[in-house]
Homo-oligomer: A and B are copies of this chain.
Amino acid sequence: MNEKGLAGVVIALPTPLHPDETVDVESLCRLMDHTINGGADAIMIGGTMGEGVALLDSQKRILVETAVAHNAGRITLLATVSETSTKRSIDFVRSIRHCPVDYWVCTSPYYNKFPDPQSVLTHITEIRGSSDRPLVFYNAPLATGNPVDVDTLDRILNMEGIAGVKDSSTNFGLFMEMLRRYPKGDRPASIMQGDESVFDVSLLLGADGVVSGGGVVFVELLKELYATACSNNPAQSMVLQRRLSQELRALLGPRAGRDWVAKIKQRLVDMDVIGASHVSAPFLTHIDTVGDE
């Protein structure tokens, strides 16, 4: 684990798959090497970009085991363990906690609605207690249907064993209020931005780092943006953010909502980093959707 805690450019890795949706271990290793060599500060596996909730538990375990073994301590490693309930999350952590990742990552539970803050606090406490590794809370209300307010995020940042919050709420006011309450260098845990459209301003105002799925194909640009913002250069940070947003738009195209996973994998195929662009059903591949709009 990074001694200074979770920070910098975290790449949320896609999971290369075979046609039968088993993990393409060989491609995964190449993709990790590519990302590490590109200068990323950390790798997150099995997140939204990694189709984590869609894979069979057996494949998720192969994903974690492979990543830990292939990494061999070269880079900070985060592994996502989100599930629909506390019990299911703990059950999965227990089956994989022998793997020395640096951080587990979990979202709120999903499908059901849990409007009481006590629910997410209990959920996190119990998952945290089920292994000896620190936990990162991934705030992803658009996926889980369970928004978390700033006072609850504040309590999470102060929980024992919590290494940070990755915020993908796309609610910038919420994110900003965390930064205001805890100035950089004096906060109980890391505050990471997961919304790729506001990386510049988040870093300029004191975020510890960014987590990017699409960034797997733009690692160097992300590194430059991170360094520029941390050296307090707003004008150039904004120029780089605009470039990042434009590159992402060009990559994803007009049907991004439908085939974004396949589009990013296909680009990695084109870059000769992974072997194929297969996705887990019912995600669509770009081929399925040609001409249908």
Contacts and interface: CB of A to CB of B under 8 A. Distances in A.
Contacts of A195: 173
Contacts of A249: none
Contact of A54 (B56, B88, B172, B176): B88
Contacts of A281: 85-87, 122-123, 126
A88 B56 contact: yes
A233 to B, nearest CB: 11
A115 B186 CA distance: 41
Nearest to A59: B87
Residue among A123, A201, A289 with most chain B CB within 10 A: A201
Contacts of A21: 87
A269 interface: no
Contacts of A197: 173
A198 B176 contact: yes
Contact of A172 (B88, B173, B292): B173
A206 interface: yes
A71 interface: no
B173 A87 contact: no
Contact of A282 (B123, B143, B170, B241): B123
Contacts of A85: 51, 53-55, 280-282
Interface string A249-293: 000000001100000000000000000000011111000110010
Interface residues of A, number: 64
Interface of A: 21, 48, 51, 53-56, 82, 84-88, 91, 109-116, 118-120, 122-123, 126, 142-145, 170, 172-173, 176, 179-181, 183, 195, 197-198, 200-201, 204-206, 234-235, 238-239, 241-242, 257-258, 280-284, 288-289, 292
Contacts of A84: 53-54
A248 to B, nearest CB: 14
Interface centre among A112, A204, A292 (most CB of B within 10 A): A112
Given A21-B87, A56-B87, A173-B170, A238 B179 contact: yes
A117 B51 CA distance: 19
Given A116-B289, A206-B234, A198 B172 contact: yes
